[in-house]
């Protein structure tokens, strides 16, 4: 396969973790005989430093023309005091809006050997591997009308969902479940909200197109409890914007370090793949950042943008092997293992990838 992948390293630890993820993509390309054209463009503080906008037009055009975009992180204390349109972070909202990304996918899995590094008891966490599929462009965060009453005594927001918005995010969740454990839990508050009742009706109707995937429904409050009490009971969680915002952070927190978490944002054009963490200026340039969130995002890019499931699984299996072999960056360090840097972690994952059989991995 030939694919154009745009790399947007950005700020802080962004360039270090994107370099690590790019090295893994190069290994995948040579091992599985693909041609990945990896190009870089500036974004965030890195673009501002060149005298450009946080999201330069050339960067946006390159993203629109790519098959997929891999972003590091944006945010630089140097620009914290500028006006808000010149803040590095404004590039993130702009690129998500311009690429019309309506689906946010956040996996939360516990890697073997790291069961004790999360806040839950290891036996509760063991086997956790869920994917939160969050609607990203509708609901309470965007609904109109919204505002604060003139006399300041009240404020209001509007939660509105259209059938087509629910249907398209629902399809993403069912599709994702097909290459996982084939279970979707649709999360709503249908006992209270009309939008949730429509949500439930549309998702239930959609399920008939995906007979191989099991569907159940759960209220958001029970779901929040169950994510903390029995995280391993979930496969795919499908939910609207605000519930997903909260549940995806909760799911990420139960599995441990921020440096481990990948994400994908999908629309009908090129998708955007990025680790969940920010630019971490406190550790930037020191070769200590954990690159697994970025490398996991590259695996998601292979799976969801390029439909290369075998290659995506191979990368995830290589991460697992490296961790089982004792590779630990500072954020994961425990007394039993020496700390290694960003580059060394990437090399450990690369070696594990090269040691896998080149045939399909299950
Ligand atoms: P952060 O995620 O950058 O860092 C939070 C803490 O986690 C820090 O102590 C950091 O050292 C640690 N950390 C983060 N990623 C790590 C990794 N890969 N390995 C090891 N440790 C890691 O969040 P913050 O400190 O609140 O924000 C810093 C900057 O990043 C701000 O400018 C913020 O606006 C920006 N930000 C950007 C994004 C993004 O680009 N998607 C997301 C969040 C924050």
Integer-rounded Cα Rg, in Å, for the chain is 20
pLDDT at 117: 82
DSSP state of 4: E
Active site residue 175: no
DSSP letter (8 states) at residue 283: G
Ligand 1: distance of its center to the CA of 66 in Å? 26
249 assigned to active site: yes
Q: Does the Cβ of 279 fall within 6 Å of ligand 1?
A: yes
Q: How far is CA 88 from CA 45, 70, 73, 92, 220, in A?
A: 5, 17, 10, 8, 33
- Per-residue pLDDT tens, the chain, 362 aa: give them: 999 999 999 999 999 999 999 999 999 999 999 999 999 999 999 999 999 999 999 999 999 999 999 999 999 999 988 777 789 999 998 999 999 999 999 999 999 889 988 899 999 999 999 999 999 999 999 999 999 999 999 999 999 999 999 999 999 999 999 999 999 999 999 999 999 999 999 999 999 999 999 999 999 999 999 999 999 999 999 999 999 999 999 999 999 889 999 999 999 999 999 999 999 999 999 999 999 999 999 999 999 999 999 999 999 999 999 999 999 999 998 888 899 999 999 999 999 999 998 665 44
Using omega within 30 degrees of 0 as the cis cutoff, is the peptide bond preceding 145 cis? yes
Helix crossing, 163-178 with 194-207: angle to 10°? 50
Answer yes or no: is the C-beta of 278 below 6 A from any ligand 1 atom.
yes
Determine whether 334 is an active site residue.
no
Pick from 45, 33, 39: which is nearest to 67 by CA?
A: 39
Predicted local distance difference test score (pLDDT) of residue 361: 47
Residues contacting residue 20 through CB under 8 Å, at least 6 positions apart: 291, 294, 295, 342, 343, 345, 346
**Does 277 contact ligand 1 (Cβ within 6 A)?**
yes
Which single residue is written with the structure tokens 């370099």? 19
Task: Report the separation in Å between the CA atom of 296 and the middle of ligand 1, taken as the mean of its atom positions.
Answer: 17
Q: Write the residue with the smallest CA distance to atom 37 of ligand 1.
A: 278
Identify the three-state secondary structure at position 336: coil
- pLDDT for 96: 92
Catalytic residue among 37, 80, 216, 221: 221
Q: CA dist 268 to 37, 101, 214, 271, 303, Å?
A: 21, 8, 25, 8, 15
Alpha-carbon gap, residue 71 to 62, rounded angstroms: 13
């Amino acid at each position: 396969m030939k694919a154009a992948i745009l790399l947007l390293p950005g700020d802080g630890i962004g360039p270090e973790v994107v370099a690590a993820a790019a090295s893994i993509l190069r290994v995948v390309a040579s091992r599985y005989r693909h041609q990945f054209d990896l190009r870089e463009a500036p974004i965030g503080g890195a673009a501002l430093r060149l005298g450009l906008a946080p999201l330069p037009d050339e960067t946006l055009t390159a993203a629109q023309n790519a098959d997929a975009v891999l972003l590091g992180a944006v945010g630089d204390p140097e620009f914290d005091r500028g006006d808000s349109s010149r803040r590095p972070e404004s590039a993130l909202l702009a690129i998500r809006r311009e690429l019309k990304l309506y689906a946010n996918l956040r996996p939360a899995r516990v890697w073997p050997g790291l069961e004790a590094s999360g806040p839950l008891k290891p036996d509760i966490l063991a086997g956790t591997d869920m994917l939160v599929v969050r609607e990203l462009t509708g609901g309470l965060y965007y609904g109109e009308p919204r505002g604060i009453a003139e006399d300041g005594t009240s404020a209001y927001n509007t939660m509105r969902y259209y059938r087509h918005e629910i249907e398209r995010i629902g399809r993403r969740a069912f599709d994702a479940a097909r290459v996982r454990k084939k279970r979707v839990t649709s999360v709503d508050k249908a006992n209270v909200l009309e939008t949730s009742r429509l949500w439930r009706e549309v998702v239930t109707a959609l399920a008939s197109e995906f007979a191989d995937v099991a569907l159940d429904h759960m209220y958001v409050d029970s779901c929040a409890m169950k994510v903390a009490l029995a995280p391993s009971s979930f496969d795919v969680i499908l939910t609207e914007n605000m519930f997903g915002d909260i549940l995806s952070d909760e799911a990420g927190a139960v599995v441990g370090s921020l440096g481990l978490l990948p994400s994908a944002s999908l629309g009908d054009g090129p998708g955007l793949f990025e680790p969940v963490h920010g630019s971490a200026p406190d550790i930037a340039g020191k070769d200590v950042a954990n690159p697994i969130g970025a490398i996991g995002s590259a695996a998601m890019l292979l799976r969801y943008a390029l439909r290369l499931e075998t290659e995506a699984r191979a990368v995830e299996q290589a991460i697992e092997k490296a961790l089982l072999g004792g590779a630990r960056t500072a954020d994961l360090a425990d007394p039993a293992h020496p700390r290694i840097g960003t580059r060394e972690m990437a090399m450990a994952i690369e070696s594990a990838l090269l040691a896998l059989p080149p045939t399909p991995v299950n």
